Structure 1
Amino acid sequence: MAAEHGMLEQAAHQAAELARALAPETERSRALAPALVAQLKDTGLLRAALPSQLGGPGAEPAEVLATAETVAGGDASAGWCVSINATSSLLAGYLPEPGAAEVFGDPRSVACGVWAPQGVARAVSGGVVVSGRWSFCSGITHSDWMFGGATVHTGAGPDVARVLAMPVSELTVLDTWDTGGLRGTGSHDAVADELFVPSRRLLSVLDGPPPDASACYRFPIFGFFALSIAAAALGNARGAIGELVELAGQRRSLGSSRTLAERSTTQEAVAAAEAALRAARLLVYSSVAQAWRAAAEPEPVPDALRAGLRLAATHATRTAAEVTRAMYDLGGGAAIYADSPLQRRFRDAHTATAHFQVNATSYQVLGRLLLGLSTRTEQL
């Protein structure tokens, strides 16, 4: 695993450099640049959580998150897609073995996912027939499969929530992703119309993985999903600090002989931002480490640790946005132009905070738990 980790880390740094160079192309195209997609597929970063028996690296949660964070340091859209695709590869552990082999058997096969039940399906012989429209399908422009949530009408009992693995080639992708930030994620809508999905490609994220699943698949999956957003946000904020430091060494205000870096207000703001970002990142990875140790035990991961993951994810994403805004403000007039990396970082950061997993409302369920109120915790 150590060698595998070193390979993933090296691949992430290389991808970050390419992502930074291609960021303008990614932004214009509203999809990751083809050369970047090819590199990400070649190195397996888009399948980082896939188990080794299916040809993946089977990386631990902290490793998956760290690679996405590193790539986001080059470009937030790239890091976001690495997060989403890698998290989707984790679902191989929830699929029946024949379905997992079908979806991920090709070593370059990549999946994205929207697990919310935005589709409606009916049970038929050998599977289900589904129709629906899923929004925010990040990475679908370079993905081969999409995991879409649906409510399944069984006809013989209560409806059940399932996630369906569907070929992107059998979906209609609608060009809806024209946003202020994270433009390169290609998070368009996808539509299924009376699509048959065999039972081998159905799973439940609520019921959890098989009883004999390894620790990676007993790690809280909803916490993993929320943390994948936080990882991209942390990397973006780290990139923003780097962009500001580079700018500050060169830029002088009108009528001033001092560079931006030589001004005391800049020094104070950068130091405060650095401290905030380090603290938020430490909370994320310490929470992951605690939950990972618990996932190795036979009992389910306790609610307190699950809540800790979600608390860390929301805090980190929102702190990262504050850090990025501070760097954007320090950039002054140089940051307002469309070709300014700081301007893109600012837009990306404040698009990330809108995600339902890490928006301000996500604190409510965590606050209820902290206050000792009765709270549903199945999606922590």
Structure 2
Amino acid sequence: MRRSISANELNKKAEALIPFLKTQSNEVEKNKSLTKSIINKLHNEGLFRYHQPKLWGGMELEFSAWLDIPEILSRGDCSTGWSVANIASHHRTLALFSEEIQDEIWSDNPDVIIAAGNIYNQGVGKVVDGGLVISGKWNFCSAIQISEWCLFAFLVKDGDKILDWSQCIVHKNDYEIVDDWDTMGMRGTGSCTVIVKDLFIPEYRIQSMAINFANHKFKGVDKNKNPMFQISTPSIGGHGLAGCSVGGAQLCYDIMKEWVLERSTSTTGIKMKDIPSIQYRLGEAASKIDAARLILRNDCVEVEKMMLHNMEVNINTKLKYKRNASFAVQNVLDATRIIQQIAGANGIYNNSPIQKAVRDVQSCSTHIHFSTDLQMTQWGRIELGGEFTSATM
């Protein structure tokens, strides 16, 4: 059993890793995976397990850790922050499954790494005796190369009729990884495509996620009673990933601040730190990063407080969280553009850490959670009296 640790203590452990992560960042990008050294340090500090149930030796920290830890780690390497966010989230998801599968996985190895394919319509399950047979092809399975198990979201169907929205968990021996992750940024997440073909999944490895269906229940909540585990991932799950963009933008800012303090202009010899327009732009960028962080953290604190007090988190509030995540990420995108403009031509060299940080933040921003076209419109529709339906949110 891991000793009790506070969120503040774990944040400090994450902060202490930032310099090391910076030294590993290029290798992470080259290999399209976290290095063994990074993985070992993350395990040693417990940084994968902050939302794992205490029953299995996890920390079960408050929900705001979902934002804080990935954001801090991303100040060293954005792919590391993103991978940790996903892996920690999947511990929280497994806590909702049956005690039998939790015992099968965590009693053998409580440090196990779990990936996920989260797009429901990329997989199909058919009911058979004792469980389901599933097939599918899931994109964007972050950290899949370093994982022992993978969660898969899928639709349970009878012909064209959808019976349920479910997830299951599958051992790595039973799925195929397609090495197709070749991207401009976030390369170290190794978010490859995964294929499953006609695989039988026993009932105890399956959990319905259709919370709006009649008589729905998470199998694991009788043992894992912390309301944190039932906070809606479809509504606020993007906040941990948005935190990676905030951390990546903070990294970009920190590099530029150090650069400005050391450099003079090549044409006039004026110290960059003494130029008012540089001072203004740094202030503008820093404000946008801080604002994004505060918006995201406020949502995480708010939703957990509501769950602890048995308050209804209605659909308007859930869509507000998605709206806020997209807005926060747009703010940090603006911040990185400002910083890139300050860097000028010196920031476009391949050996410049600024260009890598910018690429990573831009790549983070492409996640569907951060599409302002989608998220602002969905919230606006509800705000103006329209309708929104979701089986899982």
Corresponding residue SS for 1:328: helix
Instruction: Judge which range, 304-313 or 240-249, deviates more.
Output: 304-313
Q: How do residues 198-237 of structure 1 correspond to structure 2 at under 5 angstroms? A: 198-207=202-211, 209=218, 212=222, 213-237=225-249
**Taking structure 1 as reference, are residues 204 and 11 closer, same or farther at Cα in structure 2, changes over 3 Å only?**
farther
Give me the whole-angstrom Cα distance separating, in 2, the residues matched to 1:306 and 1:228.
15
Give me the whole-angstrom Cα distance separating, in 1, the residues matched to 2:331 and 2:295.
12
TM-score by length of 1: 0.94
Measured against aligned partners, the alpha-carbon deviations of 1:155-187 in whole angstroms (never above 9, x if no partner) come to: 8x8532211111123211111110001111100
The equivalent of 1:108 in structure 2 is: 111
Give me the whole-angstrom Cα distance separating, in 1, the residues matched to 2:64 and 2:133.
37
The equivalent of 2:367 in structure 1 is: 355
Give me the whole-angstrom Cα distance separating, in 2, the residues matched to 1:108 and 1:218.
22
Give the CA deviation at 1:14.
2.8
The equivalent of 1:240 in structure 2 is: 252
Amino acid at match of 1:202: I
Give me the whole-angstrom Cα distance separating, in 2, the residues matched to 1:42 and 1:301.
36
Are 1:192 and 2:185 matched, yes or no? no
Amino acid at match of 1:141: Q
Identity percentage over the alignment? 23
Q: 1:57 aligns with which of 56, 59, 69?
A: 59
**Taking structure 1 as reference, are residues 273 and 4 closer, same or farther at Cα in structure 2, changes over 3 Å only?**
same
Are 1:333 and 2:345 matched, yes or no? yes
Give me the whole-angstrom Cα distance separating, in 2, the residues matched to 1:329 and 1:6.
35
Amino acid at match of 2:381: R
The equivalent of 1:4 in structure 2 is: 6
Measured against aligned partners, the alpha-carbon deviations of 1:348-367 in whole angstroms (never above 9, x if no partner) come to: 11111111111122222112
Give the CA deviation at 1:377.
5.1
The equivalent of 1:153 in structure 2 is: 157
Give me the whole-angstrom Cα distance separating, in 2, the residues matched to 1:219 and 1:291.
7
Are 1:268 and 2:276 matched, yes or no? no
Query: Does the Cα contact within 8 Å between 1:120 and 1:152 map onto a contact in 2?
Result: yes
Give me the whole-angstrom Cα distance separating, in 2, the residues matched to 1:291 and 1:2.
23
Aligned residues: 379
Give the CA deviation at 1:299.
4.3
The equivalent of 2:317 in structure 1 is: 305
Amino acid at match of 2:147: S
Measured against aligned partners, the alpha-carbon deviations of 1:270-325 in whole angstroms (never above 9, x if no partner) come to: 10111122122111111222211111123432333323321221111121111112
Are 1:166 and 2:170 matched, yes or no? yes
Measured against aligned partners, the alpha-carbon deviations of 1:65-107 in whole angstroms (never above 9, x if no partner) come to: 2011100111111111111111111112210111122233312
Are 1:365 and 2:378 matched, yes or no? yes
Amino acid at match of 1:376: T
Give the CA deviation at 1:247.
1.2
Give the CA deviation at 1:27.
0.8
Give me the whole-angstrom Cα distance separating, in 1, the residues matched to 2:134 and 2:379.
34
Query: Does the Cα contact within 8 Å between 1:172 and 1:190 map onto a contact in 2?
Result: yes
TM-score by length of 2: 0.91
Query: Does the Cα contact within 8 Å between 2:326 and 2:369 map onto a contact in 1?
Result: yes
RMSD of equivalent CA atoms = 2.0
The equivalent of 1:291 in structure 2 is: 303
Give me the whole-angstrom Cα distance separating, in 2, the residues matched to 1:197 and 1:7.
39
Corresponding residue SS for 1:269: helix
The equivalent of 2:73 in structure 1 is: 71
Q: 2:147 aligns with which of 143, 149, 158?
A: 143
Amino acid at match of 1:195: L
Are 1:342 and 2:329 matched, yes or no? no
